[in-house]
């Protein structure tokens, strides 16, 4: 049991003198565990452990009442603002499970689910991004990359992030993610070239 769960469960314990008449312990414990799961993901945003922690907890979170999920999603957006120094120009209103799912997809995109997107941006521009600094590749091909971004069919929040973020911050984001995954991106670009019959043999 992680520390956040232990602390929150302590608050969920009924007072000893109330134990005989108290009948809401299970609900308090569930609330405490849910809150601990929320905090585990929030605290992991921007760290190496986010994908692992998120993958373990998110399915249970998706089963919670919509009110709880909306509260959690607003916390996610606040943490993203802190970690990525990005804030949407418009207020993001959340009402439905689909709205929450959009936030989950946005978080996944920022943290770990962006490899295929980066391959889409770089395919045909470069074969091996290990041979040159990624920032230089993106800078000198920005016009083409920007056009590809505008044509991508992505979820609402991801699209807003890509289209309203300022250029330098967006290039910094793309550079950081691509640099971290140079080998995988290069492999996928070469695989796609092979599938399309564009080998240099």
**Per-residue pLDDT at 7:** 46
pTM of structure? 0.85
Give the separation between CA 199 and CA 177, rounded to whole angstroms.
Answer: 26
Low-confidence ranges of the chain (pLDDT < 50): 7, 11, 18, 201
What is the predicted pLDDT for the residue at 30? 84
Distance, CA of 71 to chain centre: 17
Helix 50-62, helix 97-111: angle, nearest 10? 170
What's the first-to-final CA gap in the chain, in angstroms? 55
Residue of 140, 138, 136, 164 lying closest to 150 (CA atoms): 164
CA 14 to each of CA 1, 19, 30, 177, 192: distance values in angstroms, whole numbers, following the listed order = 20, 6, 14, 47, 59
- Rounded to whole angstroms, how far apart are CA atoms 4 and 16? 23
Contact 129, 98 (CB under 8 A): no
């Amino acid at each position: 049991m992680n520390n956040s769960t232990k602390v929150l469960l302590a608050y969920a314990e009924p007072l000893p003198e109330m134990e005989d008449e108290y009948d809401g312990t299970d609900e308090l414990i569930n609330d405490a565990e849910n809150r601990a799961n929320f905090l585990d993901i929030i605290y992991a945003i921007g760290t190496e452990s986010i994908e692992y922690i998120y993958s373990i907890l998110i399915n249970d979170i998706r089963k919670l009442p919509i009110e709880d999920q909306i509260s959690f999603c607003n916390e996610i957006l606040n943490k993203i603002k802190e970690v990525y120094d990005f804030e949407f120009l418009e207020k993001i209103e959340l009402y439905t499970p689909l709205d929450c799912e959009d936030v989950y997809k946005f978080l996944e995109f920022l943290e770990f689910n962006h490899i295929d997107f980066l391959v889409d941006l770089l395919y045909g521009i470069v074969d091996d991004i290990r041979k040159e600094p990624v920032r230089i590749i993106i800078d000198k091909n920005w016009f083409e990359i920007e056009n590809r971004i505008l044509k991508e069919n992505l979820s609402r929040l991801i699209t807003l992030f890509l289209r309203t973020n300022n250029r330098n911050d967006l290039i910094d984001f793309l550079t950081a993610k691509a640099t971290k995954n140079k080998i995988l991106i290069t492999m996928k670009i070469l695989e796609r070239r092979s599938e399309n019959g564009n080998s240099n043999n």
